[in-house]
Amino acid sequence: MFLIYDQKFNSNELFIIASLTIGSMLVWKLPRRFTIKESLIYLSFFIFLGVVFDHTISIEPFDYYDVNDSSAYQFMDFLSYLSFGPFGYLYIYFYDYFKIKNKYVTIYIFVWTMSALAMEFIAQALGVYHYKNGYTIFYSFPIYLFILISHLCVYKWIHNKN
């Protein structure tokens, strides 16, 4: 079902632009730890899985939520996916920087999962996400866990190969 939630430039657009700007600045300002290609992989992994998951469960036959002002795909939706990039990069950056030991990995992933849920909660409150058909933020918990574990697997795979 096609729905329009609002047509103004307001909180959801501002949240996306602010998170994308702050995230990109952090990525830009932090001292480099990876090669350009590796950095691009860590930046694009979250965008990749964000797009894959969103375009799987947010469209029919599942149709669990809409992103931004309407059910249609808008430029702001694309920017919202780009804003996932710095989050994924920083997740790997700090894992590498603090050299997290294996026994603390589950705690590290849990902390980032909770941060992702907090970000989603704020985004949802500001109108970025509109849940439908019984979907709640709690269903995002296993999705984030899966994404963050996969991201770490990709990092370890690349790191070992290089």
Partner 1 sequence: MNLAIFVLIAWIIITVYLLVPKKLNLNETILLFFFYTIITITIFTIIDLNLKLIQHSNKTESFISLWVHRNIIIPMSLIILVNLILTFTSKVKKYISIILSFSVLYSIDLLAYWLGQKTYHGSNQYFASAILDTTLILIAYVMMKLVKKLPEGEST
Minimum Å gap between C-beta 143 and partner 1 is 15
153 lines the binding site for partner 1 (CB under 8 A): no
Binding residues for partner 1, total number by CB under 8 A: 29
For 83, the token pair is: 């804003």
Binding mask 13-42 for partner 1 (x = CB under 8 A): -------------------x-xxxxxxxx-
Q: CA–CA separation, 137 vs 116, rounded Å?
A: 11
Q: How far is the CB of 50 from partner 1 (least distance, A)?
A: 9
Distance CA 97, CA 108 (A): 13
Q: Indicate the residue among 60 and 103 with the shorter CB distance to partner 1.
A: 60
Where b means 16+ CB within 10 Å and e means fewer, 4-16 reads eeeeeeeebbebb
- Locate all alpha helices (DSSP H) within 58-139, ordered by sequence: 75-82, 84-97, 105-125
Residue position matching structure tokens 């690349």: 158
Q: How far apart are CA 120 and CA 12, in angstroms?
A: 12
In the numeric block, the tokens 């439908």 are attached to 132
11, 44, 115, 124: which one contacts partner 1 (CB under 8 A)? Answer: 44
Of residues 43 and 116, the one with the C-beta less far from partner 1: 43
> Between residues 97 and 121, which has the closer beta carbon with respect to partner 1?
97
Taking the C-alpha atoms of residue 107 and residue 28, their distance in angstroms, rounded to an integer, is 27
List 17, 73, 100, 126, residue binding partner 1 (CB under 8 A):
73
Q: Which range in 48-56, 97-105, 111-119, 138-146 contacts partner 1 by CB under 8 A?
A: 48-56
Residues at the contact surface with partner 1, assessed by CB under 8 A = 32, 34-41, 44-45, 47-48, 51-52, 55-56, 59-61, 71-73, 78, 81, 154, 158, 161-162
